[in-house]
Amino acid sequence: MEGETLDGQPSVLIVDPSEETREVLRTALERRGVRTFLAQGAEPGLKLAQQNHPDLVVLDLELNAGEPEQLAAPFARQSRVEGTSLVMLGTLRRGRGNLPPGEFVPKPYHYGPLIRRIEEILDTGPRDLARSA
């Protein structure tokens, strides 16, 4: 679990098992003046979300060996409660219940468009929360 706090900045929580992905997103976002919180797993990720109330959560759906639907559910609840945006990396299978509100970025993705979209959401708020992959 890693993270920094600098008041008055937009903030993003990155929950991703890959140290490289966390590092790339952190470097890119911090250069754009975004505060980042990093977590490798779902549980510490949720804890960070509850403690720091980030404006946006980037969640890798292949975090655990379990079902991605089950993984996304508590983050979706947290996002609804906090009114924050959720960007999920990977896809959920259709027909497996309600899709959590948020955006899906299928893998493998390019970092440029992902960073731009994160900035866009941070600037203007989510455009269409119900959009799915």
Partner 1 sequence: MTRRRRATVCDRLGPGRPIAGDSSWGVSAVPSLFVIRGNDQGTRFELEESLFRIGRDSASSIQVHDTEVSRQHAELRRSDEDFAISDLNSSNGTFVNGRRTQRHLLSSGDQIQVGRTLMLYTGPADASEEDLTKTISITSVEPAEEQSHIIHSVKHEESSEIFGGEAEFPQNPWLARARSNLQVMYRTALAVSHTLDIDQLLHRIMELIFEWVEADRGCIMLVDPQSKALQPKVRRTREGVRSDEKISISKTILDYVTERNEGVLTSDAREDERWNPTGSIVKMGVREAICVPLRGRYDVVGAIYIDTHSSPQEIIRKGGTTKFTEDHLKLMIAIAHQAALAVEDTRYYSAMVQAERLAAVGQTVATLSHHIKNILQGIRGGSYLIEMGLADHDETVIDKGWNIVEKNQKKISDMVMDMLTFSKEREPELTQANINDVVGEVVELMQVRCGELEIDLQWRPADDMPDMVFDPDGLHRAVLNVVTNAVEAIGETEQPGKIDVQSKYLTEKTLVQIVVIDDGPGIPTDQLAQLFSPFASSKKSRGTGLGLPVSQKILNEHGGRITVASAPGRGSRFTLEVPVTLPKSTSQTTAHADTEP
Q: For binding to partner 1 (CB under 8 A), which residues are involved?
A: 1, 17-21, 23-24, 27-28, 31, 40-41, 44, 62-65, 67-69, 93-96, 107-112
Task: Identify the helix (H) or strand (E) that includes residue 7.
Answer: none
Q: If DSSP codes are grouped into helix, strand and coil, which group holds residue 26?
A: helix
Least distance between partner 1 and beta carbon 81 (Å): 25
Least distance between partner 1 and beta carbon 88 (Å): 14
Strand partners of residue 103? 87
CB closer to partner 1 out of 92 and 126: 92
* Token pair belonging to 44: 């510490």
Least distance between partner 1 and beta carbon 83 (Å): 29
CB closer to partner 1 out of 58 and 84: 58
Provide the angle, in degrees to the nearest 10, between the axes of the packed helices 68-82 and 42-52. Answer: 0
> CA–CA separation, 76 vs 18, rounded Å?
21
CB closer to partner 1 out of 111 and 125: 111
Least distance between partner 1 and beta carbon 40 (Å): 5
> CA–CA separation, 104 vs 58, rounded Å?
10
